[in-house]
Structure 1
Amino acid sequence: MFGVRAMTRFYFPVAIAALLLAFWFSPDAQEIAAGVAIFLFGMMMLEDGFKLFGGGALEKVLKQATNSTTRAVTFGILSTTVLQSSSLVSVITISFLSAGLISLVGGVGIIFGANIGTTTGAWLVAGLGLKVDIAAFAMPMIAISVVMVFQKSKPLRGLGYALAGLGFLFLGIHYMKEGFEAFKDQIDLTRFALSGLLGLFVYSLIGTVATVVMQSSHATMVLILTALAAGQISYENALALAIGANIGTTITAIIGALGANFQGKRLALAHLIFNVTTAAVAIIFISPLRMSVDWISDLIGIAPNDFAMKLAVFHTIFNVIGVLIMLPLLTRLIAFLQARILEPVPDISTPRFLNEAVDEFPQTFEVALRKEVNHLYENAAELILHGLNLHRDQVFASDDIEKLVRRSRSPLEVDIDERYEHRVKSLYAGIVEFSTRVGDKGFAPEIADRIYALRDVATDIVQAVKSIKHLRKNVLRYTVKPQGATTELYDELRTEIARIALEIRKLGLADPESRSALWLDQERAQIEEDARMTSKRVETLIRNGSLSSVAATSFMNDSSYAYGAMRMLIEAARSYYIEREGGRAEVERLLALDDEEINEARGGSAAKPGDSSPGNSVTRSS
């Protein structure tokens, strides 16, 4: 990351100095530079507009479009054709791949298709932009878009940004074309033309550098096409520039992958391999490709001297050939990527799903946060059970929790404070920090509400762990060695918490369609009843001499922590697992117990957890 920043600091003054030198050398260079700048600004507005206007539609389609390689490639072609931005498609794909919403094979397929889709831009510019006064269309589009971006409706604003972006694209093409036309009267750039193999390599390198600088192969292709139409570069050198532009476009995916996980980095490497391989094939077979372009041009009626349209044909041919070459090798490519960029050994103490790549889009933001909250719960559940002197795996495999608890007398060597700091608190800090970004993202209110709800789930989980930390000392004191009624009381608390942890696990493993909030309501009511009954039982034990006042005081404090932990775990499970919308949710809201009913619940009024839980519940101890 330091290297990227250092490169940026170096690049900025060099770029400014180069522009000022070009402006001094020729005033007409200002018009070309302004055209490029306006074009790039238009692309940014177009991308922002589609993000705003799409309302997550593009992301939803992307999730459904990767069930097969053919569908993934087709989606890459169509989405890039519509958006006219392979960069945006690449960023979305990396984001979804990093969030685990699509497979690596699907992501690579989309990148293959995007390389074909990006060639449609060259056809539009060569066939329309250079032959029609598109500046006449640009001005009305920009004027109308300004009115739209000030509307309250998000789709209207998004459409306004997209329209403005399209207008600026047209305007940028116009100024680039005018600038090269003016150059023609002063300087003949064709004097710098290079033929043969040397020209092929030199101009491919120039095309690569230009695309890396502008981070847009579309902008590079427009620059090449306008210069070619003005006669400022030779057709042969224009072909080489187009090849170089294809290599340079990988920089966007590489930059996007810097903040991604290992899957995002694999996709960026696949993009680089694909584009370099395609470029190499185009350079090696440049002569047969030129012959193919001439043949296809004659076939579809392109004039022999219409080199701009021929360049568009060439751009399409070599990208299609690249896909045809790489598709049969896709399995080997995936195997190479997996061997070259290994999946890191999971570190349960650090965020696993939260990275810069997934916070680009609402859906990936929410999915990544949901997975990280589940990661936090897995760590917390282990720590909670270990804090109670129980092995998590044994609890989750048991069909008789009460019996398991009675047998669990050996103390577990666990530093609960150290594990809390490194396996719970660190993750919670990452979740809180990540969720605060939602305020700067402009997400829809309903999405922001769900993200904040997930943050609250994390808070409940952490509070439950803190409560168990308070129990740890007396659990070791009274349950390692049987001490009559006191041990029985603590065993009952351990049993209750372990059983709830087991039921939450079953809830997580259950089919989402079959999950019910009613069990959670019944469980919450039973917890309140048990808390009341525990107080009465302690009073009875003190009166008959089975429990000392000192042990009773300690237990009452500990039971308060224990029941608090149970409440928070139940509430966290409700918020995390139970759907909030739909007919089933509405019915359950009508049937759910309100807080007053829960507080008034008595032993016989609440159903046993086995009646409605997502799996076969163990019998409650009372």
Structure 2
Amino acid sequence: MELIINIFSLVGSLALFLFGMKTMSEGLEKFAGDRLRSILAAMTKNRVMGVLTGILITALIQSSSATTVMVVSFVNAGLMTLAQSIGVIMGANIGTTVTAWIISAVGFKVNIAAFAIPLLAIGMPLIFSGKGNRKSIGEFIFGFSFLFMGLSFLQDAATEMNIGDMVAGMLAHVPQDSFFTIILFVIVGALVTMIVQASAATMAITLMLFGMNIPGFGFEQAAALAMGQNIGTTITAFMASLTANTQARRAALAHMFFNVFGVVVFLIVFYPACDAVSWVVENCLGGGNDLFKLSAFHTAFNIINTLLLIGFVKQIEMLVCRVLPMKAQDEDYRLRFISGGLLSTAELSIMEAQKEIHSFAERCQRMAGFVPTLLETKDEMEFNKLFARIEKYENITDSMEMEIASYLNKVSEGHLSDASKTQIQKMLRQISELESIGDSVYNLGRTLNRHRMHCQESFTADQMQHMKTMLQLVDAALTEMLKRIDLPTTKNGVKVSLNIEHEINNYRTQLKNQNLHDVNAGLYDYQLGVFYVDFISECEKLGDYVMNVVQAGKGLNNDFGDGPINGQG
């Protein structure tokens, strides 16, 4: 029974450590998220600045996985090139070594858990503060406290279970001087990190075991575990990229290649490298703390690996592009920017969703562009082919609405600021109206199809000209919508769209009145007039939906015209 309790204590301590790291990282990201993204955007102009940026951000948020996933998200959203991402990933590997130095310096020598409890008292009022920044700082303090409390409890639980003796017993059957043993430790380090998905946690365990002076687990074995962790940590970004676009998958693959290459190189010179690090620590750092050797090796591994490959960013880019080629029609019928499994911050997720909504709007305009061609097509086969394409696009818009809405709903389940909550509501309304635009365009095509099937009389020259003019107005409205959908909507911006909407409404009314006059005058029969008015009226509805999208961006209510507020779909 005591053994079971000790096992749960060990696992619980590790869980507290991981939870603390996650909370601390998320708190800092929420507090400085916009600043971090600004740094990423501004400081990745060249590979050296990209590396420095990766070091800085990872040192701040204490998670190379979080930085790498953020980078993959940026590449997925088109905010960062593949070459820029490689430099940041290199820097992230160096930045994550700060954790090992902190633990080596204070983690096992000072009872930092005793200071962690008072820190919780400081963080408590901040956690319950109404202001977002204060709450984020409180989360950071709580995370910091939990992290070191977990580390302290982990050491206590390991001592209670005599982990040192257990590990020594297992290692007694492993050849100590065999290079195969070093490779085995690399594999174990990779597997454990893949499971835990936090290299900092496995590094903390490695430091703890190394500090116990376990027979058979010396500096070389610990260094091999640390190298394996560099491979295992790539799994987080790799999993995040599985549902992302090709460029994002390439960034994750570059991360994996970079770390695997470093491990292979260091395995070739493993023993001399260990001796060199030991000499530097003993002669330059006083040699008073053996844990510094492991931290120094971890840092040297990542710095040297970066120096070896920083001049070959273009070649790495070419390699991953060859391994993952961009297929023809790649992602034509899938979401381009958002992916349900992507481990992003809420703000970054909203940014990606906005990109996806812009793509949605572009698809709607492209779909509407098929209608003028459909109107003028005489060949039945070409007509049917184009109408089928419109129908296919309509199905795609239905799917896009559902998938983006599902994504936004998942984002809304997290901790969001009031501004982010409001933004999500606006975006949900936008996608609803965009789906209605898709429905409306399909209705235009269906009206033309019904006319072809059930009416023997062709549209007159005047009717054709009026329908083309109406479609031009609709296209102008869609073009203006695309200009506004990514930008903060201003009153002047809404006014431009509103003027086009009024023009569409007035033209619709004019054409309906003219139609009554023409039918009564016998210029064409009543049935043709019905199809004609249906087409014109549907164009006016489409204009209403476009206006709704524009106004949703500003959070306004529908206060114009006689069109519907909500989509048909």
Q: CA deviation at 1:117?
A: 0.9
Q: Which residue of 2 aligns with 1:77?
A: 55
Give 1:347 shift: 4.5
Give CA deviations for 1:154-208 in whole Å, capped at 9, x if unaligned.
2222222221111122122223334555677983855636234233223223322
Given the superposition, is the C-alpha separation of residues 183 and 195 from structure 1 closer, same or farther in structure 2, using an over 3 Å criterion? farther
TM-score (norm 1): 0.78
Q: Per the alignment, do residues 425 and 195 of structure 1 end up closer, same or farther by CA in structure 2, a change over 3 Å counting?
A: same
For 1:220 and 1:306, locate their aligned partners in 2 and report how far apart those are by CA, in whole Å. Answer: 20
The aligned counterpart of 1:338 is 321
Query: Take 2:225 and 2:62, find their aligned partners in 1: how far apart are those partners?
Result: 20
CA distance in 2, matches of 1:569, 1:170: 54
Deviation at 1:384, TM superposition (A): 2.9
Q: Cα offset for 1:492?
A: 0.5
Partner of 2:417: 444
Larger of the two Rg values belongs to structure: 1
Kept in 2, the 8 Å contact 1:259–1:357? The answer is yes
Q: 2:225 aligns with which of 222, 236, 241?
A: 241
Instruction: Say yes or no: does 1:279 pair with 2:257.
Output: no
Q: Which amino acid aligns with 1:315?
A: H
Tell whether 2:402 aligns with 1:424: no
1:489 to 1:372, Cα distance in 2 relative to 1, 3 A: same
Structure 2 length normalisation: TM-score?
Answer: 0.84
Aligned to 2:68: 90
Which residue of 2 is the match for residue 433 of structure 1? 406
Q: Quick one: distance in 2 between partners of 1:173 and 1:569?
A: 56
Is 1:535 matched up with 2:508?
Answer: no
Aligned to 1:174: 152
User: Identical aligned pairs, as a percentage?
Assistant: 24
Q: Using the alignment, how far apart are the partners of 1:31 and 1:377 within structure 2?
A: 53
Aligned equivalent of 1:159, options 134, 137, 157: 137
Corresponding position: 1:327 with 2:310: yes
Deviations 1:419-472 (A, max 9, x none): 245333232332333333343133333333333333333333333343344444
1:308 to 277, 291, 312: 291
Partner of 1:294: 278
Matching of residue 23 in structure 1 with residue 3 in structure 2: yes
- The match for 1:116 is 94
8 Å Cα contact 2:191-2:232 kept in structure 1: yes
Gaps (5+ residues) in structure 2? 563-569
**Number of matched pairs:** 546
Question: Compared with structure 1, are the counterparts of its residues 230 and 478 closer, same or farther at alpha carbon in structure 2 (3 Å cutoff)?
Answer: closer
Aligned equivalent of 2:15: 37
2:202 maps to which of 197, 200, 220 = 220
Q: Does 1:269 align with 2:247?
A: no
The alpha-carbon distance between structure 1 residues 519 and 282, as it changes in their structure 2 partners (threshold 3 A), is: same
Which one of the candidate residues 173, 177, 193 is aligned to 1:211? 193
Q: Contact conserved, 2:226 with 2:298, CA < 8 A, in 1?
A: yes
1:508 to 1:318, Cα distance in 2 relative to 1, 3 A: same
Unaligned stretches of 5+ residues in structure 1: 1-19, 391-404, 582-588, 600-622
Question: For the Cα contact (< 8 Å) 2:340–2:407, is it kept in 1?
Answer: no
CA contact (8 A) 1:349 1:424 kept: no
In the other structure, the counterpart of 1:606 is: none
Q: 1:35 touches 1:175 (CA, 8 Å); kept in 2?
A: yes
Residue in structure 1 matching 2:467, options 493, 510, 513: 493
Change over 3 Å in CA distance of 1:208–1:408 after alignment to 2: closer
Secondary structure of the residue that 1:343 maps to in structure 2? Answer: coil
Mean Cα deviation higher: 163-172 or 142-151 = 142-151
Structure 2 Cα separation of the partners of residues 448 and 536 of structure 1:
45
Match of 2:544 in 1: 567
Separation (CA, whole Å) in 1 of partners of 2:161 and 2:104: 20
Q: CA RMSD in A?
A: 3.5
* CA distance in 2: counterparts of 1:279 and 1:321, whole angstroms: 11
Amino acid across the alignment from 2:208? T
Contact 2:477 2:546 in 1 (8 A): no
Relative distance call for 1:531 and 1:230 in structure 2 (3 A) is same
What SS class does the counterpart of residue 130 from structure 2 fall into?
coil
**Judging changes above 3 Å, is the alpha-carbon distance between structure 1 residues 426 and 170 closer, same or farther for their aligned structure 2 residues?**
closer
Tell me the amino acid that sits aligned with residue 200 of structure 2.
Answer: H
1:548 and 1:320, CA in 2 relative to 1: closer, same or farther beyond 3 A? same
Residue 415 of structure 1 corresponds to which residue in structure 2?
387
Shift of 1:148: 2.9
Contact 1:385–1:498 under 8 Å retained in 2: no
